[in-house]
Amino acid sequence: MIETKNDSTLEAPIPTVSLESILCTEELQKRPSRPPDYERENRALVALMTVLADSPDAVFQTLADTILDVTHSDSAGLSLLTQDGKRFYWPAISGLWKPYVGGGTPRDFGPCGDVLNRNCSLLFRHLERRYTYFPPPINECLLVPFYVEGKAVGTIWALAHDERRKFDAEDNRLMGSLGKFASSAYQALRHITDLKFQVAEREKAEAEVRKLASGLEAKIRRLVEANVVGIVMFNLGGEITEANEAFLQTVQYTREDIASGRVRWTDLTPSEWRDRDHRAIAELKTSGILQPFEKEYFRKDGTRVPILLGGALFEGSANEGVAFILDLSEQKRAERALRRSEAFLAEGQRLGQIGSYSWCVATDEITWSEQLYRIYELEVGVPVTLDLIRTRVHPEDLTLYERMVEQTRKGGSDFASDFEWQYRLVMPNHSIKFLHAAAHATPDRDGQLEYIAVIQDVTARRLSEEARDMAISELTQVARMMSLGTLAASIAHEINQPLAGIVTNAGTCQRMLAAAPPNIEGALETSRRTIRDANRASEVITRLRALFNKKETATESVDLNETAREVIALSLSGLQRIQVVVRVELADHLPPVIGDRIQLQQVILNLLRNAADAMSGIDDRARVLLVRTERNEENQVRLSVKDSGVGFTPQAADKIFEGFYTTKSDGMGIGLSVSRSIIEAHHGRLWATPNDGPGSTFTFAIPCTPKAVANS
């Protein structure tokens, strides 16, 4: 192989034949030379020029052929230095060595390299002796360099494979000419290649632009035809040159109207927008862009349509451009509806005395509705802080408020995620407002915990409820008294009958015995009647007693938690009116008891009333009433009512359950003794214990499972 693959094989361990030994350049001058054949030379050069002009790609081959011809050699060709300067390659070869075209020699170990090193023509003899990669036979080889812009870029060469041909000075001269030609051919070719490259590049760029343009065009066309927004082409003279369907629909003109040029965009604008239009045109002229702004257009029928208008002048044009028109009717409708609903909401809040707030728990950012400011009687818009709220909360409800804040901050399980609570405000004029709040926990956009709440001013309702409750309780009292009166009257009547008989008969008996003589028989008879009537009276009393003790108990399964809640709900307004704070700790999953629900309600009501009475004189501490239910170890359900009132001494502990022991003046409702009877009838126990602190706790315990009826 002539072509060396890599440099390593050139490090030949074989002692190389010296360069001098294969050079015989001086022979060129010594030998007799042919006479110059200028005519032939000219013909050859002309032919080469023609080829260069007509088909530049073939010029190197033609050159090789020409060299072969004019030097009468066996092989001829060109060697060109590669870009990296490491090799010479043969782009064209003529003659015997034609098959080797495309091959080459290394720059630093080869005949071409030597020529470039010495920068002159060289004649080699048997160069295969040094450059062993050449296949023999090579007798003589003449190489002539050629230059481009002062730099040697290659050689042209001719080979004689045997003794018959020996190169002379004429050959050298001819090669020199041809070398010059080779130089120009090389340059020309390079230029052409460059040109071709440039053209190719430009064509590639143009193709890209065309592709881009066609892509962009397509997009614009799609946009225009999608008709999501009106698009027009216009000029600053007022004309609309093109428009899409969406625009036509917005302004209700037909395509013919536009095409005819009747529709000028200056006419579409109502007069009050003219100034704005002038500013827009100025903006277009200076910056080429029109920032979108809202205005109105007239439709064909004269009605107005709200629009958003924006646009731009075409590049390179001072007059023409494209604009988009977005129909805002729907949006305006939605805005109006929203404003209306907001107004309704605000009005509704005002009418219903309902305010609303949102509270971002992490940042304590609180936003209030106007109505809530009014409820709190604070200036609308003042930044809301927890401290500000505290200045309004009733002092007795402050602990409740703090607890609520703490629990919501914890996101506590006690409050679940939604909660309601009631509290009072004290206004600057010392009046009290009752508020009912309902809050809903929701993660906001950033996933943070936020509470949205409505607060209703229920003062009016509360006051009227209290008035109603008072009226009801008074009515109830009156009714009771009336029924008591009736009861008393009927009792009196029941007893009076036998009593009257007793008195009369006894009186008669006396007179009979006082008569002269005594009427013994009569006395006996009247005495008998007396005793009989006395017995009758006794029976009446017995019957009455039985009537009072009669238990028309309806036994059912009773949930004490629910029962307690009902009673508390009934009593709540009354308790809150006397500033009693009611706390409730009802055990979960409290098992039901069997009993008379109404009687048990009466007992609970009695205990609540007693607790409230015990606290009625207390002013130096909070009046707290705690109702607790629990299940104890003996399979009983316990309900306790704990107060912070006056309490009782251990000596009084049992007396308070005695029948007529009461400190109350009205004596309404059932008393503790009856309560105890009811509980005992339920196979339970009712007792009282003093608290560790102030006040007392009344507790009853009833078995969960019913005892056998036979036990009672």
Measured distance CA(165)–CA(154) in Å, rounded? 24
Nearer to other proteins, 489 or 622 (CB): 489
Write down the least CB distance from residue 528 to other proteins, Å. 11
Measured distance CA(493)–CA(480) in Å, rounded? 19
Site mask for other proteins (CB under 8 A), range 51-90, x = bound: ----------------------------------------
Nearer to other proteins, 385 or 486 (CB): 486
Q: How far is CA 605 from the centre of its chain?
A: 51
Please, which contacts does 500-507 make with residues 24 or more away whose CB atoms are closer than 8 Å? 501/529, 501/530, 501/533, 501/536, 502/530, 502/533, 502/534, 502/537, 505/529, 505/530, 505/533, 506/530
Please check whether residue 665 is in contact with residue 650, taking contact to mean a CB–CB distance below 8 angstroms.
Answer: no
Closest-CA residue to 409 (of 434, 370, 439): 439
Site mask for other proteins (CB under 8 A), range 509-548, x = bound: -xxx--x------x--xx--x---x---------------
Strands 623-631 and 580-586: parallel
Please check whether residue 305 is in contact with residue 218, taking contact to mean a CB–CB distance below 8 angstroms.
Answer: no
Write down the least CB distance from residue 534 to other proteins, Å. 12
Site mask for other proteins (CB under 8 A), range 14-43, x = bound: ------------------------------
Beta strands in 299-398 (DSSP E): 304-313, 320-327, 354-360, 365-368
Give the CB-side neighbour count of residue 265, counting CA atoms within 13 A: 26
Nearer to other proteins, 380 or 484 (CB): 484
Nearer to other proteins, 184 or 519 (CB): 519
Beta strands in 287-443 (DSSP E): 289-298, 304-313, 320-327, 354-360, 365-368, 418-426, 432-443
Nearer to other proteins, 123 or 509 (CB): 509
**Considering only residues 455-514, where is the footprint of other proteins by CB under 8 A?**
485, 488-489, 492-493, 496-505, 507-508, 510-512
Q: Is the peptide bond before 270 cis (omega within 30 degrees of 0)?
A: no
Write down the least CB distance from residue 480 to other proteins, Å. 14
Write down the least CB distance from residue 489 to other proteins, Å. 7
Nearer to other proteins, 66 or 526 (CB): 526
Write down the least CB distance from residue 474 to other proteins, Å. 17
Question: By rule CB under 8 A, what count of residues binds other proteins?
Answer: 26
Measured distance CA(351)–CA(356) in Å, rounded? 13
Measured distance CA(457)–CA(437) in Å, rounded? 9
Nearer to other proteins, 323 or 512 (CB): 512
Nearer to other proteins, 233 or 499 (CB): 499
Structural tokens at position 30:
């010594």
Nearer to other proteins, 523 or 624 (CB): 523
Write down the least CB distance from residue 507 to other proteins, Å. 3
Please check whether residue 700 is in contact with residue 560, taking contact to mean a CB–CB distance below 8 angstroms.
Answer: no
Write down the least CB distance from residue 490 to other proteins, Å. 10
Write down the least CB distance from residue 477 to other proteins, Å. 15
Write down the least CB distance from residue 663 to other proteins, Å. 25
Please check whether residue 236 is in contact with residue 319, taking contact to mean a CB–CB distance below 8 angstroms.
Answer: yes
Q: Reduced to 3 states, what is the DSSP secondary structure of residue 88? A: strand
The residues binding other proteins (CB under 8 A) are 485, 488-489, 492-493, 496-505, 507-508, 510-512, 515, 522, 525-526, 529, 533
